[in-house]
Chains A and B, each alone.
Chain A
Amino acid sequence: MTVALQQDGSGQRKAKRSNLSTARLRAAWLFLAPMMIALAVVAGWPLIRTIWLGFTDANLTDLSHSQFIGFENYLSYYDGEAYGVLVDPDWWNAVWNTLWFSVISVGLETLIGLFVALLLNAQFKGRGIVRAAVLIPWAIPTIVSAKMWSWMLHDQFGVINEILLGVGLISDPIAWTADPSTAMWAVIMVDVWKTTPFMALLTLAALQMLPGDIYEAAKVDGIHPVRVFFKVTLPLIRPAILVAVVFRSLDALRVFDLIYVLTSNSSTTMSMSVYARQQLVDFQEVGYGSAAATLLFVVIALLTTLTVMAGGLKLNEGEQS
């Protein structure tokens, strides 16, 4: 008590930490230390190194002879011509592709996930098995499911073409992943197939947290189920859905494996990650590729902040109305 009062009074004397809380604090750091060291080694160091390499002219053939060149990888002028990632039309094409892919796939996954979650939340026989079965697409490693789909979508041997031809919906086989008009949609379709279970699971968890009594109250009040859904269920699970959307968007913005396996370096589907890989590995431009990777990091950080802020504002509105 006296310590606290002194602190309030002068603002200079600090409350003395008791031995007990010092010991607790020390123990906490001790427990945290291994994790923090591991993170620093596997995440912190590569991140810092990537950012550093982005400011150099490093090349994959010989990384030891790289020189610091400032922002030249991002933007530079030679003979009145602009060079660098920031003016590379391929980069902006990749940014656009990534955004398009993220918005459409996350949007579809959220909607379908909500629908599936509502189904799984209902009472029916064998619900446990269905709940587990729904998770299978998400449990399969992306590389495996991407390869599987690339075979199913194959223009000559793919089962999809086979079925569509058999039913008579198409007259000629379609090269789903190679044709520019269908490639992006093929990628989005596979991503939706794979990731909807994740969204459904998070939404289902939110649905199960809802108090059951308010639904009985609504029933007694004779409120139509559709109205109950939009006026009660949706506002109450919105925070959870928003968290799921942020998670998924983070994932979608750095999409690589799915697109690389299905369409490799095709420019119609190239994402930011695929672009960075192409620069780093195919063109051996480590400096330039690192600059692209750093930009990718910045774009994701910006978009996430924006999403969280926009979502947060909406949440507040919802609470006040």
Chain B
Amino acid sequence: MSASAPTTGARRTGAPAARARSPRTANTLLGLLAWACAIAFFLPIAWMALTSFHSETDAATNPPSLGAPLTLDGYREFFGVGGGASPWPPLANSVTASVVSTLLVLLLALPAAYALSIRPVRKWTDVLFFFLSTKMLPVVAGLLPIYLFAEQTGLLDNVWLLVILYASMNLPIAVWMMQSFLREVPVALIEAAKVDGARLPTIMARVVAPVAAPGIAATALICFIFSWNELLFARVLTGVVAETAPVFLTGFITSQGLFLAKVCAASLVISLPVLAAGFAAQDKLVQGLSLGAVK
């Protein structure tokens, strides 16, 4: 695999000449180029994975020690073996914050998207644009009032506050995605259900949801990823109890002593849920990210 990288790089400069050759050769060369790019983009992650299995001293050498003995010390440190902090409470908080906020988003966005696409209200485009415009306001400008509010109401260091904030952070994009997915639902189907005497919740659950299910899944995936990744709110608003995984990760950086292996191990573990979800649902990811414009 890696052996092919240098040859491709060298031959790329000769691309015009390659065009003269048969299209099959050109195709092979372009395939190799794609491989080279993929390896270049993936290299930092592969290196992170390798470093996470090295000892701290082997992780900080120049030139890099590729064949250094492998050890699980970094992971031991991360999982708090030997008296350190346990990563499980922060991981549990992250799961709660991202899963519940995603469900909350779906619960709010589905009816809203219905009102914006299947049975559009008047001035529905304005409403849609209002949703998106809230996404463009700098989060940091609202941080102080939210902090002061949380402090006054005793919501500081409470994972449910993050649930609410993450829901508001993802709601605009979710509404946009969902309304474009719901456009796919045939109106005739809904009318037929109405004739049968079905009410709105029933229509939503029985008619709309099944057709839009892949879109809903895509939206949920995106919301989950962005909530899982969030750092700024979590940093400012949590403390002892509600700390999330990304905040926990920053705790491994120290100005005194080596920490590369630990940080690589921690980064990898914390990225794992997102990597797994993303790899498993690549096509859904594309659909969601393009706000449903891509089917």
> Do chains A and B interact in one complex?
no
